[in-house]
Amino acid sequence: GDVRLWGGRFADGPSEALAALSASVHFDWRLAPYDIAGSRAHARALHRAGLLGDDELTRMLAGLDQLEADVADGSFTGTVADEDVHTALERGLLERLGADLGGKLRAGRSRNDQIATLFRMYLRDHARIIGGLIADLQDALVGLAQKYADVAMPGRTHLQHAQPVLFAHHVLAHAQALSRDAERLRQWDKRTAVSPYGSGALAGSSLGLDPEGVAMDLGFERGSAGNSIDGTASRDFVAEFAFITAMIGVNLSRIAEEVILWNTKEFSFVTLHDAFSTGSSIMPQKKNPDIAELARGKSGRLIGNLTGLLATLKALPLAYNRDLQEDKEPVFDSCDQLEVLLPALTGMMATLTVHRERMQELAPAGFSLATDIAEWLVRQGVPFRVAHEVAGECVKECEAHGIELDQLTDEQFAKISEHLTPEVRSVLNVPGSLASRSGRGGTAPSAVAVQLSEVKADLVIQ
Ligand code: ARG
C-alpha cells in the first residue's frame, strides 16, 4: 500500500524520477535507533498530554521495542519507496501495531523537528567516539615522548635547521593541538545539547506537549529549543561539527607529513612497523607510509565536507527547506573517515622506531647553535643587536673554513669579538643548549617534563 506520509491531497503517486531523487533511506537509515528513541519519548509526551491512554502507551512502547529489535537484527529495513528513515519506521510501526494505534504517534511532530533532533543525537555520540580515538592517539604520542625522552633533534622553521629541540617537545606539540581539538568537541557538545523535538514543522505544537520532558528523555541536558523556527532550520551545529572534524584532519595531516619526511632515506629518522606500512606491487624493496599519506589525503576530503555544507546553508531562507537533506552525507562521511583513520594513525605512531643516533647527530648541524651564542652574549651584558651580529660572524667564519661552531678555536672566537671568551663553549653543545631553555614551554628536559604532565592531565579530563 501507499506508505507516503502525505498522500491525502494528492491524486497521483510520486513519479519514479522524483522518488529516486528524493530518497534518503540509503544514508539516513543509520539514524533509525535515534528515530525510535525519539518516538518513545514522543509517545510518553502524548500520554502525559492525555492523547494516548495508559494501555495505548504500553502497546505503543512494546511495538517500538519490537521494531527496534527488528531493525537491529536486520529483519526490518527501509526501502527506496519509503523515502526516508522516518517514513520507513512509521510503516514498520503500522505493520506491527495496526493503523489505529500506530497512526496516533505522528500527532504533534514533524519530520522537520525529528530530523533536527536525531541528527544532533547522532553527532553527539560520534563526537564522543572521535574524542576517545583522539585520546588514544595522544596516548601513543605520550608514549613516544616518554620512550625517547632524552633524544634531541633538529628543530625547524621554514623546514630549515633552526635550533635543537627535544624530540619529546616536538611530539608533545602535536599532542597539545589534539587536546584543543578534543576540547572543541566537548564545547560543541555542550552547545548542541538542546532538543528541537516539539518544534513541529516550524511553528510549535498546539497539542499541549511537553518539549522539555522529551528533551530530558533524550539526554539533552540543556532542554528544548527556545525558538521552534530556529530549532528546525538551524544547522550551525552541523557546520561547526564539520569544522572541528576538518581541523582534526588538518592536525593529523601535519603529523602525517612529518612522518612521511622522517621516513625518507634522506632523513632516516624513523622506521615504520611492517604492520603499519605497505609494499609496492612492482618495486620489491618499497615500504611505503600509506597510512600517513591517507591521513594527508583525507584531510582534503574533510575540508571539502565543511565547505560543501557551508555552501548548502548559505542564503537559505527560514525555516526548513529540502536543501537541508544535503546536510547529512558530508558529516556522516567525516565521522566515518576519522573513525577508520585515527586507529590506523595511532597504531603507526605507537609502533614507530625512532633512530636516536641519527636525530642526535643532526641536532646541532646547520649552525643551529648560533642563537645560543647570541643569547649567551646577552647574558654577559652585550646588547642583542651586537650579539646577533657577532654570532653571525661566527657562522661566516665556520662556512669559510668548512667547520662547525664548536670547532672554532679560542683564538678565532677572540678575533671575532672580545666578548667571546672560552666560556661560550658551555652552550655550544646540544645538551647545554637544551638545558638553557628551561622557561615555561621551552625545550629543556625539565620544561618538557611539565608539558608531558599537562598533556597527561588533559587525557584524564577527556
Ligand atoms: N529527509 C529530510 C531531511 O533529511 C527530513 C524530512 C523533512 N522532509 C520534508 N519534506 N519536510 O532533511
Give nearest CA residue, ligand 1 atom 3: 325
The Å distance, Cα 64 to ligand 1 centre, comes to: 21
The Å distance, Cα 89 to ligand 1 centre, comes to: 14
**ipTM confidence:** 0.94
3-state helix, strand, coil in the chain (%, to 5): 65, 5, 30
The Å distance, Cα 169 to ligand 1 centre, comes to: 49
Question: What is the helix (H) or strand (E) element at residue 354, kind and residue range?
Answer: strand 353-354
- Ligand 1 atom with the smallest distance to the CA of 328 is 4
The Å distance, Cα 90 to ligand 1 centre, comes to: 14
Contact 63, 93 (CB under 8 A): yes
Q: State whether the beta carbon of 24 lies less than 6 angstroms from ligand 1.
A: yes
Task: Tell me which of 86, 109, 111 to substitute to probe ligand 1's pocket, judged by most ligand atoms within 8 Å of the beta carbon.
Answer: 111
The Å distance, Cα 113 to ligand 1 centre, comes to: 9
Q: State whether the beta carbon of 324 lies less than 6 angstroms from ligand 1.
A: yes
For CA atoms 32, 38, 43, 46, the dihedral sign is: negative
The Å distance, Cα 173 to ligand 1 centre, comes to: 43
Contact 112, 5 (CB under 8 A): no
Average pLDDT per block of 10 residues along the chain, 462 residues long: 68 88 96 98 98 98 98 94 94 96 95 98 98 98 98 97 97 98 98 97 93 98 98 98 98 98 97 92 86 98 98 98 98 98 98 97 93 94 96 96 93 96 93 94 98 94 78
Q: State whether the beta carbon of 88 lies less than 6 angstroms from ligand 1.
A: no
- Ligand 1 atom with the smallest distance to the CA of 85 is 1
The Å distance, Cα 83 to ligand 1 centre, comes to: 9
pLDDT at 1: 45
Burial class for 143, CB neighbours closer than 10 Å (0-12, 13-18, 19+):
middle
- Ligand 1 atom with the smallest distance to the CA of 28 is 4
Task: Tell me which of 199, 325, 329, 331 to substitute to probe ligand 1's pocket, judged by most ligand atoms within 8 Å of the beta carbon.
Answer: 325
Q: State whether the beta carbon of 325 lies less than 6 angstroms from ligand 1.
A: yes
* CATH number given to 370-428: 1.10.40.30
Cell numbers 597510512 correspond to: 291
Which positions are annotated as active-site residues? 158, 280
Task: Tell me which of 22, 119, 320, 326 to substitute to probe ligand 1's pocket, judged by most ligand atoms within 8 Å of the beta carbon.
Answer: 320
Give nearest CA residue, ligand 1 atom 6: 111
Q: State whether the beta carbon of 117 lies less than 6 angstroms from ligand 1.
A: no
Which of 267, 250, 268, 349 lies closest to 307, judged by CA?
250
pLDDT at 271: 96
The Å distance, Cα 367 to ligand 1 centre, comes to: 63
Q: State whether the beta carbon of 67 lies less than 6 angstroms from ligand 1.
A: no
- Ligand 1 atom with the smallest distance to the CA of 115 is 5
Q: State whether the beta carbon of 84 lies less than 6 angstroms from ligand 1.
A: yes
pLDDT at 461: 81
- Ligand 1 atom with the smallest distance to the CA of 24 is 1
- Ligand 1 atom with the smallest distance to the CA of 320 is 11
Cell numbers 583522539 correspond to: 134
Question: What is the helix (H) or strand (E) element at residue 161, kind and residue range?
Answer: strand 160-166
Rounded to whole angstroms, the Cα distance separating 368 from 371 reads 7
Domain spanning 16-107: which superfamily? Fumarase/aspartase (N-terminal domain) (1.10.275.10)
Give nearest CA residue, ligand 1 atom 2: 325
Domain extents in the chain: 16-107, 112-361, 370-428
- Ligand 1 atom with the smallest distance to the CA of 112 is 7
Residue range 112-361 in CATH 1.20.200.10: yes
Rounded to whole angstroms, the Cα distance separating 406 from 105 reads 81
Give nearest CA residue, ligand 1 atom 4: 325
Q: State whether the beta carbon of 346 lies less than 6 angstroms from ligand 1.
A: no
Contact 180, 248 (CB under 8 A): no
pLDDT at 281: 82
The Å distance, Cα 191 to ligand 1 centre, comes to: 23
The Å distance, Cα 190 to ligand 1 centre, comes to: 25
Coil, helix or strand at residue 195: strand
Q: State whether the beta carbon of 22 lies less than 6 angstroms from ligand 1.
A: no
Tell me: cis bond preceding 319? Omega within 30 of 0 counts: yes
